[in-house]
Structure 1
């Protein structure tokens, strides 16, 4: 007679073997997760990248090489045509206009925009075993320690001297380390805002002791950045090289773990080619155009150094590498001088940074992932940088809760070539003063009469000229947004306006339970 004990024993052994297979399969899945690097250039125009604009005059060989080995997106957008809002949407998957920031950008000393408990893509990836690093420009607010009796900071850009109200000897609260990043090195905001010193994790690396400012562009001493607290030897021209060195070092430090199946996520938001436009001596004059074009070439070189570090450490094959920009090119680049030499930073698109037109928010997006993303491919589907959250979640097998990534749509199927269908129904944009636009398929509706930003005609001027209060463009036939069709297609204006109202009312634009906005939303921003 067979003993019951022996049968149970064999069953336990069989179950243990099955568990072992499942456990090893899970380990294999974990180890197959790719490293992720996202480079966010600052004020890099769509047409500044040569693979997007073959008629352009700026050489970008490293970005072009990534595009040749991966996918180039032609209809990628930010949610805003300026810095802070784009960064919020990118890291949270939620439209920035659902927060208190209804226009403009934060200052270098402004309080945090990301609310406590808000899931970021960094925290999502950290929970899935990633080491997470942010190296570069933060510009999402921090809680700076203040000297006794000093007033608090707000969302306005500081005039400079206010920076001396900070007690730089004490740790900073609620910076990148509390937004999901294990490691941070960089600057608090744009390099034309105080303070001028590096931050590592929650402390400045050198306590500011002097007042400094820098020319907004080399050779133009009259127009300068805001003067204020600076580390004694801090130089604006050395920021991009310093950030690039740190990024390369980070990859080297994480390489052994990454090869062992413990991946990393590196968010690399550059300070350039934003003002101050200060290419190092090595790059000055290299473009033959102006210092802005030289600075773009230096940015491209920084990206190339990161790509080379991946190769040297044997990580390139299992790294998802994305390169993009936070908005369009700034007029500080000197558009007239560039146009006179045959270079258009916005390519065929109207406007530039700060505007509601596509020159303000259509950005380069290049993605390389060897063996997964088809080399030399082009994607014309509408996507947003806000979609990075949902894309990362799908990549690591996580279902986002209802109160996270409310406006994010995964473009992973596009990357993997599983579909060419339109995945995103609509995308909402804002200009610097907070004017709204919505894109759906071929149609784009802007709720303002003019540029909504800095280009001519500005909204007040457009209204004086009697231009209609809204603009409707057929982006397939008219990508330069020259012919306003609002009078010919009132039904489209009505439909898109209703969609915007729905997205505001429901607190989300993707399927899921309705969510609250942080503040009331004014779609029209009328005076």
Structure 2
């Protein structure tokens, strides 16, 4: 029987055999990535202060493993997505802060291996259905010529989706290298921009779900394994639940949209279960960064729903709420149902993990910052990584090393107050040091009391940036010079 690896932010079914080795040589791989879903938005991760019902993701948690100390490499989407597909920190590229816009130049360099290209070389069928947001090659201003760079150039056999976030134009569907309908009118989905006449934001989530279900059904009986990367554009702005879901939560449109996203993941999981390969399918469910303040922080917290759970900050910030995300893995043949890991892990670790599952090494010159999570999935307790690097929208660095977290900024490094300019005006120290074991909410800066820890972690961060990689391997270089300490933005 063919094994399947699924990575999603939602629902996974189980029947796990804990401690077993992987059951087949080439599992199917499906990765479902939510957009701006806060760790506190998933009820299983926030049972006391989460008010949104997420039964599909909760089911995955019950049938698989919850990883409670999981992080994106950045607190915004483009750099996180780069790391997911390449196993490399995005700040090693030209993107030192912020995100790409809809017509941004490709961020993944020509010839750089990705998870998709690696799996394609292993005989996989590969598809990306959803939000790309890693840059495309536009050959003309009228959107009529084929794209010169698309997911097809980075290991995917098939692509159907949108160029960037659902609130960033052009608003139109792309299939492989072409727009299915030329963007020729103006529409506003949170932002105004060029749009295809027939494109509507409210249709995106159900369309992607239908396409994903069809892909699973089409490929499940085949001999070749498949990799389905399903990066949803929800519950990111524009917040557009369908009429069927409006009012379901009792908490407003955002909670309705989260519930619809959760249900959509459940539909994909139903297709997987019906394929007869559920036992040999790995499902990983996660989000590209934390909850977005644009969805309304105070309104939700006043209603008793805390989208960052007990963590400080939100999307864009260097604090935990910006990049600590829900992560659930179901693989019934290997992962014990109802299991839980508190190990430090990152979404950047996908590349090394799937290589390990296939008993291969990542290609030379690839996955420089990725480590395998397979031992955790098999139930082993030994830590797979002792540290990881976080990055905010302003380009501020933080290093997590065991219980300690060092942030090389005075404020949030993002949108939460105080921002860097305000923090400097307030005379706050230029670095922050927290012991997360004792202070998970990052309230007590210990940089003055523990200068020894600050010095040790500064040295470790500097070396990680300088060396071009954080894993064993051959020489590696950053694409551009990298400055760790950023000047405060206005």
- TM bin, normalised by shorter chain, reads over 0.9
How many residue pairs were aligned?
Answer: 466
Q: Calculate the TM-score normalised by the size of structure 2.
A: 0.94
Structure 1 SS opposite 2:43: coil
Structure 2 SS opposite 1:322: strand
Structure 1: segments with no counterpart, 5+ residues: 1-28, 147-165, 215-223
Distance 1:458 1:306 in 2: 40
Aligned counterpart, 2:398 = 437
Structure 2 SS opposite 1:74: strand
Aligned counterpart, 1:127 = 121
Match of 1:102 among 68, 88, 96: 96
Structure 2 SS opposite 1:97: helix
Q: Which moved more, 1:31-40 or 1:89-98?
A: 31-40
Please give the root-mean-square deviation of Cα atoms over the aligned residues, in Å. 1.1
Query: Of the two, which has the highest radius of gyration?
Result: 1
Deviation per residue, 1:34-68 (Å, 9 max, x gap): 21111110000000000000121000000000110
Match of 1:310 among 272, 278, 282: 272
Distance 1:83 1:480 in 2: 23
Q: How far apart are residue 369 of structure 1 and its match?
A: 0.5
Deviation per residue, 1:173-211 (Å, 9 max, x gap): 211001101111100000111111101111111112211
Distance 1:511 1:255 in 2: 36
Aligned counterpart, 1:198 = 173
The answer to whether the aligner puts 1:426 opposite 2:357 as a matched pair is: no
Deviation per residue, 1:73-105 (Å, 9 max, x gap): 000000100010000001000110000000000
Distance 1:211 1:54 in 2: 42
Higher helix fraction (1 or 2): 1
Aligned counterpart, 1:230 = 195
Match of 1:80 among 68, 74, 85: 74
Match of 2:417 among 456, 471, 487: 456
Q: How far apart are residue 451 of structure 1 and its match?
A: 0.6
The answer to whether the aligner puts 1:52 opposite 2:45 as a matched pair is: yes
Distance 2:211 2:110 in 1: 28
Q: Give yes or no for contact 2:316–2:415 (8 Å, CA) kept in 1.
A: yes
Distance 2:55 2:472 in 1: 40
Residues 328-407 of structure 1 mapped to structure 2, 5 A cutoff: 328-407=290-369
Distance 2:162 2:152 in 1: 14
Distance 1:433 1:39 in 2: 27
Structure 1 SS opposite 2:88: coil
Aligned counterpart, 1:11 = none
Distance 1:378 1:31 in 2: 24
Q: Give yes or no for contact 2:23–2:333 (8 Å, CA) kept in 1.
A: no
Structure 2 SS opposite 1:213: strand
Q: How far apart are residue 526 of structure 1 and its match?
A: 2.2
Distance 2:328 2:465 in 1: 31
Structure 2 SS opposite 1:136: strand
Match of 2:160 among 174, 182, 185: 185
Structure 2 SS opposite 1:378: strand
Distance 2:235 2:25 in 1: 35
Aligned counterpart, 1:246 = 211
Distance 1:308 1:314 in 2: 11
Q: Which moved more, 1:458-467 or 1:182-191?
A: 458-467
Bigger RCO of structures 1 and 2 (CA < 8 A, at least 6 apart): 2
Aligned counterpart, 1:163 = none
Distance 1:453 1:475 in 2: 20
Distance 2:402 2:95 in 1: 28
Aligned counterpart, 2:109 = 115
Residues 466-485 of structure 1 mapped to structure 2, 5 A cutoff: 466-485=427-446
Structure 2 SS opposite 1:112: coil
Aligned counterpart, 2:35 = 42
Q: How far apart are residue 401 of structure 1 and its match?
A: 3.7
The answer to whether the aligner puts 1:498 opposite 2:473 as a matched pair is: no
Runs of 4+ in structure 1 over 3 Å off: 29-32
Structure 2: segments with no counterpart, 5+ residues: 1-21
Q: How far apart are residue 321 of structure 1 and its match?
A: 0.7
Q: Calculate the TM-score normalised by the size of structure 1.
A: 0.87
Structure 1 SS opposite 2:388: strand
Distance 2:363 2:186 in 1: 46
Structure 2 SS opposite 1:249: helix
Structure 2 SS opposite 1:381: strand
Q: How far apart are residue 253 of structure 1 and its match?
A: 1.3
Q: How far apart are residue 400 of structure 1 and its match?
A: 2.0
The answer to whether the aligner puts 1:488 opposite 2:449 as a matched pair is: yes
Q: How far apart are residue 228 of structure 1 and its match?
A: 1.9
